[in-house]
Structure 1
Amino acid sequence: MQQNRSVYESTAKQILDDILKYNVNYNNNILTVGNWADGSSKYQNLMRTSDVLPSFFDKFYKFSQNSQWLIIKNKMLDSLYQASRKSKVGLVPDFIQVTNDNKVKSLTYGKNVKLNKHDDDYYYNAFRIPYNLALDKDRSSKENQILIKLMNFFSSLEKISSGYKMSGKPLNKFQSTSISAPLFYAASTSQKWHTLYQKQSFILDYDRLNHNYYDDTLLVLILCSTK
C-alpha cells in the first residue's frame, strides 16, 4: 500500500510540474487555456474563468511546496474579481482576456480571441464558478464578494435559464443540471440561499437525468461534495 501511494504521489508531482512548465503564462501568472496557447499564439492571455480553483491551488501548494501555485491562485482570483466588478449583476463570462499588466479586457480587445459565440457569456464553462468558489471553506474576501454577487443574482430570479448575457438577459428558455448543480452546492453552504437551494433541488430527481455527459458529470461531482 505504501509503495502504491509513493507511485501516485510521484505521478501527481510530475503532472503538477508539467502544468507549471507548459500551461502557465508567466507574463501574468495565469493558467493558459491549453499548452498550444503559448507566446506565439494570440490566445496566450485568454483565461478560462472556471479554471479559477482556489481550494485546489492551495492543495497543490501544500503537496508540492511550490509557491508558484499561490501566485497563480492570487492572480487568477484577482482577474475573476475584476470581471465580476465589471458586471452590474455579478455574472462572469466563460473566458476573459488578461493583459500582461493583469488588467481584464474584453475578448475583442486588440485581436478578437473568441473561440465560440458564447465565450463572453455566462455559459457552460462559467457555470462551474459557484461550485469552485463555494468549495473553498476558507474563502478570501474577494472570493466571498464574487460568490455573494453571483448567488444574489440567481436568488432574485423566479426561473433560471441555461445561460445569460452579462446584462442578465437569459439566453435560453430551459433550465439544465449544468447550471443548477453548481448553484445547488453553493446554496447549500449558507442559510441565506436556502430558497435557491430548494428550487435547484430538482437535480436530485434522478428520473430527470438526460444522460448528457456534462450535465451528469457535474451532478455526480456535486453529489460527492455535498454532505
Structure 2
Amino acid sequence: MKIKKNYLIVGIVTCLILIVGIIFLKNNMNETSYSKIYQKWQREYIVKNGEGSFVNTVKAGKKQALSEAQGYGMVITMLAAKKKYTDQSAYDKLVAFYTKNTIPGKKFMYWKLVEKEDKWENVDQSNATDGDLDIAYSLILADQMWGSTGKYNYRQMAKQILSDLLTSNYNQRTHLLRVGNWATDSSGMGNLIRTSDLIPSYYKTFYQYTHNETWRTIYYKSIDVLGKLSNQNSTGLFPDFAWINGNDVAAAEGKVIEKDTDGDYSWNACRIPLRLSLVRDKRLRKINNKLLTFFNKQRKIEAGYSLNGQTLANYQSMAFLAPIGVAANLQKSKFPQLAKELKKQILQTKLTGNYYGDTLQTYSAMVLANQRGVQDSE
C-alpha cells in the first residue's frame, strides 16, 4: 500500500513538472515569435543614414519618410526595448532623424519627406497630428525607461511637442485636436477630426506627465465623442473622419481629405480597436466590445466596411486584423476564439512588404508582448 502511495506521489509530481515545462516552453515560443516579428520588421523598414534612422514607407524608388511612420517606429522600438529585443541606441537613431526634420519654430515633424538627390525635401510646412502624438508618447516611454540625462532630454522634447500641439492643433470649441496644423477655421477643416486621433490612453498619460488640465479635457471629450459615434449604428464601426458641430458629431461623407471612404471604417479607423485597448476603462471596453461583437460574427474580416457593416473590399490586411486581435486578446474571456485565431495570425503571418499592414502587425505584436503593462482604469 505504501509503495502504491509513493508511486501516486511520484506520478503527480511528474505531471506537475510536465505541465510547468509545457507552459514554460509555450511562453518561450511566444517570446521568440514576438522577437522575430520585431527583428524582421526592423530589417525590412528601418533605414540608417547620415541623419539617424527612419522608417521607409516605399519599397522601390526614392525613399520616403512620414511622421506617421516615424511615430510608429519610435513606439514599436520602445515596446521592443521593454522586452529587451533592442536597445536605447536603436531608439536614439530614430530620435536623431526626427530632430533633424522638424518644422521651423515647432517640434512637429514634417508630415512627409521625400529623398531627392541624397537630400530630404519636405512636401510642405504641415504636420499630421497622429504622427506627432506617437512621437511624443514614445519620448515619454523613453524618459520613463532611461531617464533624460543622456544624449537626449526625452522629457523636455515630449513636453515641447505637447505644448506645440495645444498651441497649434487644439480646437477650443470642440476641445479636441485638429487633424493637422493646416486644418484651420479659414480652411473649412477646423472642426474635422480623425477618429483614430482619439487616443484616451495617450491623453491620460499626457495629463499625468504635464498636469495641464487641457489634456484631461481632451481625454474626457474623446471618450464622449467615441461613445456617440459608436451609438450611431448597430455595428459600432467608426468613420475615418468625422465632423464636430457643438455637442453633435457626424461621420464625414465622401472624400474630405484622402479617399471616397473617408466616412467609412477604412485605413485610418482600422487602428481604433488597438488605440482603445491601451487603457482599461469600462467606457472604452464597452465601445470595443461592440466592435468585437460585430467582427466576431464575420466569416472573414475584410479590409474595410461601411458603417452599416457592408464590406468595401474582398481581401484581408493585417492593418485591420492585427488591431482587432489586440482588442480581442484584452477581452479574451468574452471572445476566446477570435482572440486565439487573431493572435495566431499576428504571430505567424509573414510580413508582406506592405509598410502599413506590416507596421500595424508589428505594433500589435509588441503591445501583446507588453500587455501586462496596460494602464488601469481610474
Is the TM-score greater than 0.5?
A: yes
Q: Of 344, 348, 356, which aligns to 1:214?
A: 356
Q: Offset of 1:140 from its aligned partner?
A: 3.7
How many residues are treated as equivalent by the alignment? 220
CA offset digits 1:4-60 (Å, max 9, x no partner): 287211111111000000111111111100000112121111111101111111110
Aligned counterpart, 2:165: 19
For structure 2, the residue ranges without an aligned partner over 5 or more in a row are: 1-146, 370-378
Query: C-alpha displacement at 1:119, in angstroms?
Result: 0.5
Q: Contact (CA 8 Å) 2:171, 2:190: kept in 1 or not?
A: yes
Q: How much identity, in percent, do the aligned residues show?
A: 36
Partner SS for 1:33: coil
2:239 is aligned to 93
What SS does the corresponding residue of 2:243 show, helix, strand or coil? Answer: strand
1:107 is aligned to 2:249: no
> Residue 45 of structure 1: which of 191, 195, 198 is its match?
191
1:1-227 to structure 2, matched below 5 A, reads 3-4=149-150, 7-99=153-245, 101-108=246-253, 114-115=256-257, 116-137=259-280, 139-141=281-283, 143-190=284-331, 191-200=333-342, 201-206=344-349, 208-227=350-369
Structure 1: which amino acid aligns with 2:340?
Q
Distance 2:251 2:323 in 1: 25
Segments of 4+ moved more than 3 angstroms: none
Pick closer, same or farther for the CA change 1:106–1:224 going to 2, 3 Å: closer
Report SS of the residue matched to 1:197: helix
Q: TM-score, normalised by structure 1?
A: 0.91
Conserved 8 A contact 2:206-2:215: yes
Please give the alpha-carbon distance, in whole angstroms, between the structure 2 residues aligned to 1:145 and 1:96.
Answer: 21
Q: How big is the shift at 1:102?
A: 2.5
1:43–1:113 contact (8 Å) kept in structure 2:
no
**How far 1:2 moved relative to its partner?**
5.3
Q: Counterparts of 1:2 and 1:107 in 2: how far apart (Å)?
A: 41
Matching residue of 2:43: none
Going from structure 1 to structure 2, the CA distance change for 1:223 and 1:106 (only over 3 Å counts) comes to closer
Indicate the structure (1 or 2) with the bigger Cα radius of gyration. Answer: 2
- Per-residue CA deviations over 1:34-88 (Å, capped at 9, x if unaligned) read 0001121211111111011111111101111101001011112211211111111
Aligned-partner residue type, residue 96 of structure 1: A
Q: Distance in 1 between matches of 2:177 and 2:365?
A: 27
| SS of structure 2 residue aligned to 1:98 | strand
- Offset, 1:209: 1.5
- Indicate if the aligned counterparts of 1:42 and 1:113 stay in contact, CA closer than 8 A: no
